[in-house]
A and B are shown apart, each in its own frame.
Chain A
Amino acid sequence: MSITIENLNKRFGDHIALNNINLEVKSGELLALLGPSGCGKTSLLRIIGGLDVADSGSLLFHGENVVERDARERNVGFVFQHYALFRHMTVFENVAFGLRVKPKRERHTEAEIRRRVTHLLELVQLDWIADRYPSQLSGGQRQRIALARALAVEPRILLLDEPFGALDAKVRKELRRWLRHLHDELHITSIFVTHDQEEALEVADRVVVMNQGKIEQVGTPDEVYATPATPFVYQFIGNVNLFHSRIHSAWTQQHGDAVAYVRPHDIDISHTQQDPASLAGEIRLVRAIGAVVRAEVAVAGSDELVEIELSRERFEAQPLVNGDQVFIRPRQVRVFDESVKGSL
């Protein structure tokens, strides 16, 4: 089931939540809506799910306009950040809920409901807690039950609102891998909202980066990381160093106001000057964080600190110590004209 969004607008009082959104979601893909809080990603998800109404614009499921349709008629599965499980029902009844409220003529027999729910609980690997109540489960288990519940009505589209936001780091990592596997099995068109770039890059087929009610870039995880379309995307996804053309014209190679964006791992560092464009500086901090070593270099003649990442191997071949005089040189630079710089 593909989704087409055209010229969608939504305001809350004076706040513009969504500003003329156009987006095409392909059938069967797993799409991430990524952005800082308040960027409109959750509003967009809720409008697709029919929980909120857009002020203007159209929303098509497989070419069919669904704007007028109620949440209960859209056949969309929704998973909430805080699970929203039914407290007074067992896990089994939670998952069975969508099947039990179907109109009489469409409703399955009790045996069929039982079979389907059991199958779903096996799918989320929680068939052994069918008789428990939500309050007896851990956060990760609750979210998997919420997912099973959403899948029970065989939705055409699955929407997940910060599904792992309330979980601790380790469980979050496990669950997002699991979600990816589940999606590969079911191939249901899915959109999930997150503010965690790592999560979006790891799980999604395509990432939509949003900021202040607008879409900044749509692309595969590799595209948005390697070739960011706007300064905002550059800064939001991954770490970045900024160099102003006024000070470092050799780097931006451009006159007038421009800013060069350089990723920390795209900077070479050496004790000898190998290139006239290199900047001289002094090491201020060296930290080994797992597989990478992070160094901060104070550029001579300015108070800027440049962040540099190098692999452990490279660090061991060329050890760096606080106070070393070094030269840094970018391998890859992306220059944005000052005038197009997105606000942060």
Chain B
Amino acid sequence: MAQFKAHSVLPGFNLALGYTLLYLSLIVLVPLSALFFKTAALGWAGFYDIASSDRVLAALRVTFVTSFAAAVTNAVFGLVVAWVLVRYRFPGKKLVDAFVDLPFALPTAVAGITLATLYAPNGWLGQYFAAHDIKVAYTPLGIVVALTFIGLPFVVRTVQPVLADVEAEVEEAAASLGAGRWDVFRRIIFPAIYPALLTGFALAFARAIGEYGSVIFIAGNMPYISEIAPLLIVAKLEQYDYAGATAIAVLMLLISFALLLGINALQWWSSRKGAR
């Protein structure tokens, strides 16, 4: 232990580390290992049966594809929102800034019901889509809408402070060296905010994967088409099939873990390249 302990003016390394481990164990590791224990009751064959069933695979595909699409949408438009909030001054800016956090505060079920009503074929917004033969509510597209809504604050709030940190002088220097607006964004601003953008993307993505409340109201929940994996878990729980439910949960957990690990690696690699 002594070799990890760098000299510090603030005492309490042992206490802080002990607390961290205890906290993580109680809050994260114990429930997760319980999940694996429960699943283990199925045995390899049972687990494989559930994991390879068409309905589960379809639900997982819907979950991850829609989550990814929502996170990408948020990365793009969240960046625009952050840009506007940092770069421009306009009346009501503070109010707009506060709106960004609303998706955090709203119960997700309320968001789901509201969105479903708005985007239904006869709803306020849905009717215009319906006129062009586009169905939003009760399709995977509706799921993406709901997940975009709940994930928006992540990207805005992670990118905003970093973008505010990019000095105007650096952009002026680039301009005086002959760089056009696009070059300034691509070569100067984007590399500076890229790690934060990736973090925001990862958070929005992770949040979307686990989202349940808002999605079930707008998804229509048709098996193989718009049924998400968390719904399948709840369905199995309602049939007292606890092992089956945890099996799907473990599957989701493993995929999420792999994806987030990948994003973290990408981030580590890019920040090592940059912020030295």
Contact = CB atoms under 8 A, between A and B. Distances in A.
B102 interface: no
A153 B173 contact: no
Given A97-B187, A133-B276, A136-B276, A84 B170 contact: yes
Given A88-B273, A135-B276, A101 B179 contact: yes
B180 interface: yes
A70 B174 CA distance: 12
Given A87-B274, A88-B274, A78 B173 contact: yes
Contacts of A100: 187
B176 interface: yes
Nearest to A149: B177
B191 interface: yes
Given A97-B179, A98-B177, A84 B187 contact: no
Q: Which of under 10, 10 to 19, 20 to 34, or 35 or more describes the interface residues of A?
A: 20 to 34
A75 B175 CA distance: 10
B188 A86 contact: yes
A213 B180 CA distance: 32
Report which residue of A51, A82, A135, A146 has the largest number of chain B beta carbons within 10 angstroms of its beta carbon: A51
Contact of B183 (A51, A82, A101, A136): A101
Nearest to A159: B176
Contact of B176 (A77, A85, A86): A77
A281 interface: no
B146 to A, nearest CB: 36
Interface string A254-284: 0000000000000000000000000000000
A77 B178 CA distance: 10
Contacts of A76: 176
A50 interface: yes
B169 interface: yes
Contacts of A70: 175
Interface string B164-190: 000101101111111110010001100
A104 interface: no
A183 B160 CA distance: 42
A61 to B, nearest CB: 14
Contact of A87 (B174, B175, B183, B192): B192
Interface of B: 167, 169-170, 172-180, 183, 187-188, 191-192, 273-276
Q: Closest 9 CB pairs between A and B?
A: A98-B177, A88-B274, A84-B169, A84-B173, A78-B176, A101-B179, A88-B191, A71-B175, A101-B183
